Amino acid sequence: MLDLRATADAVTTNPLGDELRGTRNAKPCSIVILGATGDLTKRKLVPSLMGLAKDGLLPAGFAVVGFARRAWTDANFRKELADGVRQFGRPDTSSHFEALADAFTFHQSDFGEAAGYAALATKLEQIDRARGTAGNRLFYLATPPSSYSAILRNLAATGLSAERNGRFARVIVEKPFGRDTATAQALNEQVRAAFRERQVFRIDHYLGKETVQNILALRFANGIFEPLWNEKFVDHVQITVAESIGVGSRGGYFEESGIVRDMIQNHLMQVLTLVAMEPPAALTADAVRDEKVKVLKAIRSFRPEDVDGATVRAQYTHGSFAGEDVKGYREEDGVAIDSMTETYAAVRLQVNTWRWANTPFFLRSAKRMPRRATEVAIHFKQPPHLLFEDGKTHQPNVLLLRIQPDEGVALRFGAKVPGPNIRIRDVRMDFRYGTAFGGETADAYERLLLDAMVGDGTLFARADEVEEAWRIVDSIVAGWKQSGARPEEYVAGTWGPERAESLLGPGRSWRKP
């Protein structure tokens, strides 16, 4: 396939900083990270905050309080965070941490200990006076979900979740948002008992990725795509999240979730809603999320007897990856020898709206695939009459949105090969973020942390959105349970079981990213 690369003038600074600087100013605030001794803080949260510092996007009044059970001092905490910024942060951000090190303090307490939250409230008032954080609070729940209930209850009991005199109090909740509809509803009730919905930011880091956000820009900032974005012109849509790794040390967790709960319920459903939604009335949080919820409501729950025909599930077996032998799923630590948990799932969904009435959406996610890739492929219909017949069947036009690892947008179309004969060959126009904009790409958490500080919930899931996604996934899981059939198998390092191709229907095949 020929490669016609789209180019643009090089940009030497970070596009995220250019876009947001001066237009989205965060107010002074203290960020309290509950569960601050975990990997998430060291690998993602603090390195992302230092990325914002590098781009000049942190407020002048700023502080971080780490809240956890370990008997750490401020010095212990700062050393761990400095190591994390060096290992996982963007280049040249260590100096920003050194300059801001005094803003990071540690608070030791058990999550269920009421006195610890009272002491935290006193500490935050002292920080307000010392660092000018103006009484604004952002609480980040970087803990296992089992700790959420105690944390939320104590934040409410001590008044830390209340907003007074123009001061904000917000909470960021990490996924998973429950493990089914009932637990998601229970979690939402717990959150609502402490915070109003507008104070709640349910974070899914996929929505912070540039290409995911670019779905909205591609559709609604250009006049050429949206007229074709419907069932008259689109044959089908494929959304793929492929991982090359296995479950590793997460075997025990994965046994309880499976790929459909771990990936499809949140990441893939979120991307689906952005692809399928109607144009919002405005780019405000509620307007965008209203349209996303409408998409999910337009997807009917599966009847148990229909699930096998609309889904494929499988487990990886012993195979080879990058020249090395790798274990099968049931050989991994923490996995039952007779496990029924899927590591591969493909689902055919129908969005029952006028726009998408006859266009199926195919969602696929798996472990131990040949390579790591996340993409959305919009497959257009073939022309009604093929004028150019040169003995070959040409591939349909595809608009490809690459989310990771090589972010960009590509369009495949047919072009005449130079020469006296008329021969058509598939070519590709390819836009790449790194080539077009230059500079370094900000981590998804940078955008999402900034949005939470600003108070913009557009890229965060709302309570009804979470519950609607679980409704769909619950009906799939119920169908699998009723059938009692074992998951199919695929060799590690391959693209999944053979039957997955038949899910697409005649004349279609899964893309191999």
| Helix-then-strand count for the chain, H and E | 17, 18
Residues 116 and 225 in one domain: no
Q: Exposure of 163 by Cβ count < 10 A (0-12 exposed, 13-18 middle, 19+ buried)?
A: middle
Residues 240 and 306 in one domain: yes
Residues 151 and 296 in one domain: no
Sign of CA dihedral 226, 231, 235, 237: positive
**Do 219 and 229 form a contact (C-beta atoms < 8 A)?**
yes
Considering the domain boundaries, does residue 196 fall inside one?
no
**Do 66 and 106 form a contact (C-beta atoms < 8 A)?**
yes
Residues 166 and 244 in one domain: no
* Nearest-angstrom CA–CA distance, 20 and 10: 19
Counted residue by residue, the chain has a size of: 513
Considering the domain boundaries, does residue 382 fall inside one?
yes
> Dihedral, CA atoms, 82, 84, 88, 89, nearest 10 degrees?
-30
Considering the domain boundaries, does residue 5 fall inside one?
no
Considering the domain boundaries, does residue 157 fall inside one?
yes
Q: Which residue has the tokens 């007897």?
A: 305
| pTM confidence score | 0.88
Q: Cα 356 to the chain's mean position, in Å?
A: 24
Element housing 449 (H / E):
helix 444-454
Residues 136 and 83 in one domain: yes
Nearest to 206 by CA among 63, 387, 404: 404
At a CB cut-off of 8 Å and minimum separation 6, what does 328 contact? 315, 316, 317, 318, 319, 492
**Do 97 and 85 form a contact (C-beta atoms < 8 A)?**
yes
Nearest to 275 by CA among 319, 229, 334, 324: 229
Last residue of a domain, one of 121, 149, 174: 174
Element housing 308 (H / E):
helix 307-310
Considering the domain boundaries, does residue 168 fall inside one?
yes
Residues 295 and 343 in one domain: yes
Q: Which residue has the tokens 């307007």?
A: 287
Instruction: Give the other-Cβ count within 10 Å of 70's Cβ.
Output: 11
What pLDDT was estimated at residue 415? Answer: 66
At a CB cut-off of 8 Å and minimum separation 6, what does 451 contact? 201, 457, 458, 459, 460
Nearest to 107 by CA among 85, 132, 127, 130: 127
Q: Which residue has the tokens 């973020």?
A: 433
DSSP, collapsed to helix, strand or coil, labels residue 439 as coil
Considering the domain boundaries, does residue 432 fall inside one?
yes
The token duo for 381 is 């219909």
pLDDT in tens, the chain (513 residues): 434 333 333 333 444 444 444 456 899 999 999 999 999 999 999 999 999 999 999 999 999 999 999 999 999 999 999 999 999 999 889 999 999 999 999 999 999 999 999 999 999 999 999 999 999 999 999 998 889 999 999 999 999 999 988 999 999 999 889 999 999 999 999 999 999 999 999 998 888 877 788 888 889 988 899 999 999 999 999 999 999 999 888 888 899 889 999 999 999 999 999 999 999 998 889 999 999 999 999 999 999 999 999 999 999 999 988 788 999 999 999 999 999 999 999 999 999 999 999 999 999 999 999 999 999 999 999 877 666 665 555 678 899 999 888 888 888 876 677 777 777 767 678 888 777 776 666 788 999 999 999 999 999 999 999 999 999 999 999 999 999 899 999 999 999 999 999 999 998 999 998
Residues 315 and 377 in one domain: yes
Last residue of a domain, one of 174, 193, 221: 174
Considering the domain boundaries, does residue 444 fall inside one?
yes
Last residue of a domain, one of 118, 153, 174: 174
* Nearest-angstrom CA–CA distance, 496 and 492: 8
Domain extent, residue 114, equals 15-174
At a CB cut-off of 8 Å and minimum separation 6, what does 207 contact? 213, 270, 444, 448, 459, 460
**Do 300 and 468 form a contact (C-beta atoms < 8 A)?**
no
Q: What does the longest C-alpha to C-alpha distance in the chain come to?
A: 84
* Nearest-angstrom CA–CA distance, 72 and 244: 36
Domain count, the chain: 2
Is 267 an active-site residue?
yes
Peptide bond into 405 cis (omega under 30): yes
Give DSSP secondary structure letters for 349-372. Answer: EE--STTTTT-EEEEEEESS-SS-
The token duo for 11 is 């940009």
Give DSSP secondary structure letters for 156-184. Answer: HHTTTT---TT--EEEEEESP--SSHHHH
Which residues does residue 295 pair with via DSSP β-bridges, in sequence order? none
Residues 355 and 220 in one domain: yes
Q: What is the CATH number of the domain that holds 255?
A: 3.30.360.10
Considering the domain boundaries, does residue 26 fall inside one?
yes
Residues 245 and 345 in one domain: yes
What pLDDT was estimated at residue 414? Answer: 67
The token duo for 211 is 């290409």
Q: What is the CATH number of the domain that holds 105?
A: 3.40.50.720
Choose the catalytic residue: 96, 205, 267, 379.
267
Residues 277 and 226 in one domain: yes
Residues 460 and 318 in one domain: yes
Nearest to 311 by CA among 497, 508, 506: 497
Sign of CA dihedral 279, 284, 285, 290: negative
Residues 232 and 377 in one domain: yes
